[in-house]
Chains A and B, each alone.
Chain A
């Protein structure tokens, strides 16, 4: 298996532009997580899907952020409009776990977003 695949690896965009980050989870995994990592705030869970349904989006910073999972093999995280404070590394992770037992995550390599 190729693991969790994220694209792009790096994104530089101007303030106000729309940014879309993409994630392909491991085949057969039924949970998907989006995290943001910064020096100041560490690792923050943004949103969590189980069987393509958003379960917990309490970490999404504000309405500028949205996430979708149209099928079991693809998810997007969109920021519109982007702001400099959104600059961070965004990780996608997937898990085999269901509702009861946390099996642990497999992380992608991340997307480093820079908003100028």
Chain B
């Protein structure tokens, strides 16, 4: 069965520091992968997605993610975090053959000034 694991429940970083949020998936074929962000009191917003091709994907708000098939990972990165990036981040996988996404449990990011 397909699944998504976000090993870090809560991460704290200082403003200006680099960030990497981890995501591991379980799926038998090449998946479609997504990262979403949820600010407090808001819905989830799509940051970026990977379908095929270049394994380094650029998204909005300065985020990028790298697909590594050998590690079954799709980690989200940002070189310099801003206080406004404090939010919850969800990784999701979309198996081929369905329109349904499987979400991870989320990672809450806290940013200190």
- Tell me the A residues contacting B by CB distance below 8 Å: 4, 31, 33, 42-43, 45, 48, 50, 56, 91, 93, 95, 97-110
Contact = CB atoms under 8 A, between A and B. Distances in A.
B87 to A, nearest CB: 13
What is the predominant secondary structure among interface residues of chain B facing chain A? loop
Contacts of B42: 109-110
A102 B44 contact: no
Contacts of A48: 99-100
A100 B96 contact: yes
Given A42-B105, A50-B99, A106 B94 contact: no
B78 to A, nearest CB: 20
A15 B5 CA distance: 36
A107 B37 CA distance: 11
A43 B103 contact: yes
